[in-house]
Structure 1
Amino acid sequence: MTNIFAIVLAAGQGTRMKSKLYKVLHPVCGKPMVEHVVDHIETLNVERIVTVVGHGADKVKEQLGDKSEYVLQAEQLGTAHAVQQAEEILGALEGTTLVVCGDTPLIRPETMKALFDFHTAQKAKATILTAVAENPTGYGRIIRNEGGQVAQIVEQKDATFEQQLVKEINTGTYCFDNKALFETLKLVGNDNAQGEYYLPDVIEILQKQGEIVSAYVTNDFDETLGVNDRFALSQAEELMRARINERHMRNGVTIINPATTHISTDAIIGSDTVLLPGVIIEGKTIIGEDCTIGPNSHIVDSKIGNGTTVHSSVVLNSTVGDVTAIGPFAHLRPESTLGNHVKIGNFVEVKKSTLGDDSKVSHLSYIGDAEVGSNVNIGCGSITVNYDGKNKHKTTIEDDVFVGCNTNLVAPITVRKGAFIAAGSTITKEVPEEALAIARARQENKLGYVNKLNSK
């Protein structure tokens, strides 16, 4: 079996994006475009992936990490010039090289494989991934000869009127015989309207040399979309969102309103889970089976157990157990861990805390930097006072504790197993096991006081 290599073109700044963020780093469904491309390539079991970087090189490398090797295109002199930068890594190797743009996040791995298989079957030196566009404006046109073979690719700015009427377009994705690619790149000139070295010129050179040049036509034009501005970015987002939602629905997830449901490409959701309108699921979130999420909930890089409900709430970088209820209007901040059968009610905020099984914080409370045991009840309006103005301190609440309403637990502090804290208390010392802690002023009634005030 032939060796497979890949070159990802990611050097352009993308001026039409009108952004400080480099084009290929703009996210689609929560992941940068170029990372979508590289992740899809990885499924082909390629030997080496080389990403051509230029503008924003360090940030692209930081994003992709060791998924790729890198070469620098210091000057953006065209796509052929960009591919040529990879010669130092790939030039001497035998095999087939896939060339794909880093701003085409919708190309499916299945399409890449079909392109490669077609290229191999045709015994071609080069194969172009093409598509039929109703409005081909802006794309390079595929010009075929009388026998239906590819003769050349003509860029929009260099095309004649008749050539501009052609609807078969070049998607910018190719397979090449690797050695033929780098040998032919040396012959590419820049005698064109832009004064650039075009990679499509390799096709014409190979064709004139009598080599086999083929074209594989994908039946889905949408997946070839190249993102050059914010409008195209929104189109890519919409198309990928629909694709992701369809995949989950076909795997047994109910999505009440797919048009308002946003799921990251890396999220995993179990069967019989229901997503209500307005749900946003980002990052590498894992949601179990039989859950109800939403409406209008936002979950990021979190793990949600089976049978759990997240109602109109925010969950960030946290872990939630089975049959747990969150919300409405609750906020789990990063590094929070909830056990099974836990209740986090309305207007409760949990930050960097652990709550054991069967514990409840039903409403209007803040739990921060705390370790809470099992079967603990924390009453309305209670606060772990974790910050002294300089440092954060830990609160420990052991199993079976009852915390009355409007209690302040001033950390560092420990409330031992089975203790009871009276409502309205400010606790500053350790509470022993099964003790009642009361920390509030004794009530006094001043009889007739109102009449004295009114007489003044």
Structure 2
Amino acid sequence: MTTRSFLAIVLAAGLGTRMRSALPKVMHPVGYMPLVGHVLSAVKAAGASRSAVVVGPEMPELEDLVAKLAPEAACYVQLERLGTAHAVLAARSALEERADDILVLFGDTPLVTPETIALVRGELAGGADVAVLGFRTDKPFGYGRLLIDGGRVTAIREEKDASEEERKVTFCNSGIMGFRGAHALSLLEAIGNSNAKGEFYLTDAVEIASARGLNVTAVEGDESEVQGVNTREQLSQCEAVFQDRMRKDAMERGVTLLAPDTVFFAHDTRIAPDVTLEQNIVFGPGVSVESGSVIRAFSHLEGAQVGAGSTVGPFARLRPGANLSEGAHIGNFVEIKNAKVGEGAKVNHLTYIGDATVGAASNIGAGTITCNYDGFGKHHTDIGPGSFIGSNSTLVAPVTLGKGAYVAAGSVVTEPVEADALVIGRARQIIKRHRAEELRAKFKAAKDAKSKGE
């Protein structure tokens, strides 16, 4: 099929009123990617040379999203919502540029895989003029039924138009349909709207093609792949299937998940073999973790790179721009943002490192923060390799600490520190003998007086 041209038409004009949202339905996310993005990724991986996305009127945010996710795709506006065939014909100009394979998919079915799309294309390559992706279910209510005679599909009957006998059929239409490019436009133009809803059904193309003596076949897919999203509940069901796929894929590739159901992935999470993931971990978009690392319980990572053999957590947060070199240690209640942590460096307790560089083999003590924001702009802190930052230190950016610098606990550092220097930025300790005893007596007397109402 590599020599066959492939046009994907993705229908995405639905308002999603049952979602109770101002956001177009296909922009809701699964695995931190909008529904339509999953479909566009799948068709591209399956070899689509062009993609046409049919959107509704006044959906500029969706058009902008498509341009961002798939620059090779073009958007076409369906001005009136008169059915699926009418929606496909909104992309008439794309259809007129002939392709060997033309597949129609829905932007709210995010779980369809490139392999399943390839099955439909395989039918076309094998001689089918129209190929329908079907699935079997013991709960067919609401789905169009695939009517088959002698191994060929003769019609797809919608629930409202089906006879009692036809409603007993459990082989159902997924909505994904492939056309041989030479017949697609002619079949679509022949579809009428003589049905219960007065709409132009794409599914009628099957009966028209069969009447013309064309070869109409069906290929069977998995029901879980073709489930669409019309409600928030269905969105959560798709999310659950997506997460289950990601977990299984990770474990098959050699990743250890101690409690798989408690680990949540983004669509682009990259975990190398021999990584261990403990319980209750969330990966936002843009995370990669190299081999031998351990992500400990209750950690959240987004836009972060974790080098080989590193440890993160428990209760750690890596925000966008966090970049850990090999063997780095990020401990409990530590937050890293837009900062590079050098090889073997340790940031183990109750610390915030933002807009910074932490040199190799440095040790950052508990309670340390980089003060990177002055209310107007962000500033950088550069900590040289082999440095030791004492507990409860405050590094006020912009500031540079040279190689091997030593910062005394409790210091506020506002000026550059040269290599191998000790900096003490705190008030001198003062001891007043017997003063504690006097204070206790004073405070006790005040409390006693208050309790007596004096």
- In structure 2, give the amino acid aligned to 1:178: G
Q: Match for 2:333: what amino acid? A: F
Partners of 2:430 and 2:5 lie apart in 1 by: 87
Following superposition, the deviation at residue 56 of structure 1 comes to: 6.5
Partners of 1:299 and 1:452 in 2: how far apart? 51
Match of 2:84 in 1: 79
CA distance in structure 2 between the aligned counterparts of 1:182 and 1:173, rounded to whole angstroms: 17
Alpha-carbon distance, 1:307 to partner = 2.0
Q: 2: CA distance between counterparts of 1:355 and 1:419?
A: 16
CA contact (8 A) 1:350 1:366 kept: yes
Matched, 1:142 2:146: yes
Q: Which residue of 1 aligns with 2:102?
A: 97
User: Are the structure 2 counterparts of residues 383 and 239 from structure 1 closer, same or farther at C-alpha, using a change threshold of 3 Å?
Assistant: closer
Report the equivalent of 2:272: 270
**Code of the aligned partner of 1:104:** T
The counterpart of 1:204, out of the listed 191, 202, 207, is 207
**Contact in 2 for aligned 1:22/1:55 (Cα 8 Å):** no
What amino acid is the match of 2:128?
A: A
CA contact (8 A) 2:152 2:216 kept: yes
Provide the secondary structure at the position in 2 that maps to 1:277: coil
Q: Is the 8 A contact 1:124 1:213 kept in 2?
A: yes
Which residue among 280, 284, 287 is the counterpart of 1:285?
Answer: 287
Match of 2:330 among 344, 348, 353: 344
Q: 5+ residue gaps in structure 2?
A: 446-454
Q: How far off is 1:140 after superposition?
A: 0.7
What displacement does 1:48 show? 1.6
Alpha-carbon distance in 2 for matches of 1:414, 1:148: 75
- 1:184 is matched with 187
1-structure distance, mates of 2:142, 2:291 = 46
Contact 1:139 1:169 in 2 (8 A): yes
Please point out which of 169, 172, 177 is paired with 2:175.
172
User: Could you give the per-residue CA deviations for residues 256-277 of structure 1, whole angstroms, max 9, x where no partner exists?
Assistant: 3322222233222222222223
Partner of 1:306: 308
Seen in structure 2, the aligned counterparts of structure 1 residues 190 and 301 have a Cα distance that, compared at 3 Å, is same
Q: In structure 2, which of residues 228, 239, 242 is the aligned counterpart of residue 240 of structure 1? A: 242
Deviations along 1:335-388, one digit per CA (max 9) or x if unpaired, are 233333333332333333333333333323333333332333333323333333
Q: How does 1:312-327 map to 2 (within 5 A)?
A: none
RMSD: 2.4
Instruction: Select between 161-170 and 414-423 the one with higher mean Cα deviation.
Output: 414-423
Equivalent-residue separation in structure 2 for 1:2 and 1:138 (angstroms): 35
Query: What SS does the corresponding residue of 2:207 show, helix, strand or coil?
Result: helix
How many angstroms apart in 2 are the aligned matches of 1:280 and 1:385? Answer: 27
Contact (CA 8 Å) 1:80, 1:198: kept in 2 or not? yes
Provide the C-alpha distance between the structure 2 equivalents of 1:148 and 1:358, rounded to a whole number of angstroms.
64
CA-CA distance at 1:9 after TM superposition: 1.0
CA 178–407 in structure 1, closer or farther in 2 if over 3 Å, else same: same
Contact 1:282 1:300 in 2 (8 A): yes
What is the TM-score of this pair, normalised by structure 2? Answer: 0.88
Stretch of structure 1 that moved more, 183-192 or 331-340 = 331-340
For residues 185-239 of structure 1, what are the alpha-carbon distances to aligned partners after superposition, in whole Å with 9 as ceiling and x for unaligned? 2222212221111111111122222222222233x22222122222222222222
Deviates more, 1:280-289 or 1:104-113: 280-289
| Distance change in 2, residues 1:350/1:6 (3 Å) | closer
Deviations 1:157-205 (A, max 9, x none): 1222222121111111111122322112222221222111111111112
User: Which letter maps to 1:374?
Assistant: A
1:42 maps to: 44
Is the CA contact (8 Å cut-off) linking 1:37 and 1:104 kept in structure 2? yes
C-alpha separation between the residues in 1 aligned to 2:151 and 2:434? 105
Give me the whole-angstrom Cα distance separating, in 2, the residues matched to 1:425 and 1:295: 31
CA contact (8 A) 1:92 1:179 kept: no
Distance in 2, matches of 1:58 and 1:51, equals: 13
CA distance change for structure 1 residues 139 and 431 in 2, over 3 Å: closer, same or farther?
same
Q: How many residues align?
A: 437
Aligned residues of 1:22 and 1:56 also touching (Cα < 8 A): no
Residue 367, structure 1, aligned to residue 353, structure 2: yes
TM-score, scaled relative to structure 1: 0.88
* Contact kept in structure 2, 1:380 and 1:404, CA below 8 Å: yes
Percent identity of equivalent pairs: 40
Q: Which residue number corresponds to residue 318 of structure 1?
A: none
| In 1: Cα distance, 2:331 partner to 2:317 partner | 10
Report the 3-state secondary structure (helix = DSSP H, G, I; strand = E; otherwise coil) of the residue aligned with 1:161.
Answer: coil
Q: Which residue of 2 aligns with 1:325?
A: none
